[in-house]
Structure 1
Amino acid sequence: MPVQPGAGDAADAVDSGAPVRERDAGVPTARGEHTHSERPIPEPRTLVQRSSVRGQILDALRTALVRGELRPGEVYSAPVLGERFGVSATPVREAMQQLALEGAVEVVPNRGFRVVERGVRELSELAEVRALIEVPVVLRLARTVSADRWAELRPLAEETVRAAASGCAATYAESDRAFHRAVLALSGNQQLVRIADDLHRRAQWPLVGGSVRHGRAHLIADAAEHTALLDALIARDLDVVRALVGEHFAGAS
């Protein structure tokens, strides 16, 4: 799964010891030069390219995690993963460090990164926290958001159905989170959306053993709950909405 072969090498110039112009680095070029009022101006091309490669690698690693290709308990080195993706080790290392911040992997000094081993209890705890956050918000929105606004989410709900039918856990994971983000975004609270999405992503990682948690039948049933929930929200049937959101998060564990 190459990711712009060689692109990471150009982006790594900053870390590889390549010369950096003192002016761009914010270092005075002559003794006594007054620079306290100047702000260093980064080179957009370099930063955009670096961010792009790292972002692509991060997405690829997240997909590999959901698919169970990166197995819990196993240690992976940045150079080896870099060969897999056709880039140098640096963007891979940066992406893995982001995954470490998210709790997906942990640093193993002088070896690489170990995929965190997670059990059913952790998954249940995540489902409980998600329910505490999302259920009250959805019930509040059910009373205040118009049917037309809910109807605008129909394509996202239908996309989860198509993704579930494909049987690909990674494809479904993305569409599932996209639907939940769109629902919560109607609250206008971006911090809530960000926190809920992070919890949702964590809930999609594989359990101990590295296998994908749910098969195609489970994905299809989960997606069907999205469309049923949307129908109830459009109809403003609060009893059905309350029952569906409760079942949805109970099934998330």
Structure 2
Amino acid sequence: MRASSAPAPAPPPARGEHTHGEAAGAAVPAPRKTVRRNSVRGQILDALRAALVGGDLAPGEVYSAPVLGERFGVSATPVREAMQQLAIEGAVEVVPNRGFRVTERSARELGELAEVRALIEVPVMLRLARTVPAARWCELRPLAEASAVAAAGGDLARYAEADRAFHGAVLGLSGNQQLVQVADDLHRRSQWPLVSGPVHARRADLVADAAEHMALLEALAVQDLGVVQTLVREHFAGAGG
């Protein structure tokens, strides 16, 4: 039977009424247009994040939802919703009656983010180095290699995702999902907008950062705690984070 031929659901009973055997609280499928809208918003959010990391949306510049909507071939609504999420994450700020301004990050702010990340992640990685078998670290090599490929290709947005995937997988071995979520949020905040400077210079720095992923896995596998601590701190201070 087609879904369109089903009768409309009855309104919920008023307070104090009985349903006389009717299924109470039965889930009603969300309209398909809602799912499609959320999907579009998610796609636009991913596209905006990539544009921020890649430098297509410049720090200090104001962008309107309608203009960005035309750029992505969608209405202004999903763009506005995605921008609101980015505002919560600190990547942009709302400019009344104009749109959204891309946040300008100072060297001090990026340094503070690196310090907080180190305070959280270094102790965890040192603990994992003592407890996780070497074979488990070998399983993460494909993620480290993926970041190296992105860095070699100069793809800033792709590297940002690969970098976060690698760190998320390492921290995921702790079994603490709250830790992974907090660390990922800090990581994302440290990635955009990128520090001012020539794009080609930032891309060159990514190659060195990606190499640190493999070096970190090797140090974790042999339980070299000193190298682990040094690599993590230096990595956070680098261009890729």
Same fold judged by TM-score > 0.5? yes
Matched to 1:177, the amino acid is R
* Partners of 2:123 and 2:73 in 1: CA distance: 45
Q: Distance in 1 between matches of 2:186 and 2:216?
A: 21
Matching residue of 1:4? none
1:157 and 1:92 mapped to 2: Cα distance? Answer: 32
**Deviation of 1:39 (Å):** 6.0
C-alpha deviation, 1:56, in angstroms: 0.3
Match in the other structure for 2:155: 168
Q: Quickly say closer, same or farther: Cα 1:133–1:212, change in 2 above 3 A.
A: farther
Mapped pair 1:41 → 2:24: no
Partner of 1:251: 238
- Report what 1:115 is aligned to: 102
User: Percent same amino acid among aligned pairs?
Assistant: 74
Q: Cα–Cα, structure 1 residues 228 and 50, in superposed 2: closer, same or farther, change >3 Å?
A: same
1:106 matched to 2:124: no
The residue matched to 2:174 in structure 1 has which SS? coil
Taking the aligned partners of 2:64 and 2:26, their CA distance within structure 1 comes to: 37
Identify which of 222, 231, 245 aligns with 2:218: 231
Residue 217 of structure 1, CA deviation: 2.1
Equivalent of 1:201 in 163, 167, 188: 188
Given the alignment of the two structures, is residue 156 of structure 1 paired with residue 143 of structure 2, yes or no?
yes
Matches within 5 A, 1:205-224: 205-207=192-194, 212=199, 215-224=202-211
Residues 78 and 112, structure 1, Cα contact 8 Å, conserved in 2:
yes
Q: 1:179 to 1:73 in 2, by over 3 A?
A: same
Residue equivalent to 2:48:
61
1:250 Cα deviation (Å)? 3.5
Which amino acid in the other structure matches residue 58 of structure 1?
Answer: L
Q: Could you list the per-position Cα deviations for residues 125-168 of structure 1 after superposition, in whole angstroms to 9, with x for gaps in the alignment?
A: 11111111111110010001111111110100111111110112
Gaps of 5+ in 1: 1-22
- How far did residue 236 of structure 1 move? 2.0
Distance across 2 between alignment mates of 1:243 and 1:114: 36
Equivalent AA in structure 2 for residue 127 of structure 1: A
How does 1:66-85 map onto structure 2 within 5 Å? 66-85=53-72
Distance 1:107 1:33, change over 3 A: farther
Partner of 2:4: none
Looking at structure 2, the residues matched to 215 and 223 of structure 1 have their Cα atoms a distance apart, in angstroms, of: 13
* Separation in 1, partners of 2:164, 2:237: 17
Per the TM alignment, residue 211 of structure 1 is displaced from its structure 2 partner at its CA by 6.0
Name the SS of the counterpart of 2:100 in structure 1: strand
**Unaligned 5+ residue runs, structure 2?**
1-7
> Which residue of structure 2 lines up, in the alignment, with residue 13 of structure 1?
none
Aligned twin of 1:185: 172
What is the one-letter code of the residue matched to 2:120? I
What is the one-letter code of the residue matched to 1:110? N
2:120 paired residue number: 133
Instruction: Measure the CA separation in 1 of the matches of 2:186 and 2:80.
Output: 23
Distance of 2:84 and 2:11 partners within structure 1: 28
Kept in 2: contact 1:71–1:209 (CA 8 A): no
User: Deviation of residue 193 (structure 1)?
Assistant: 0.6
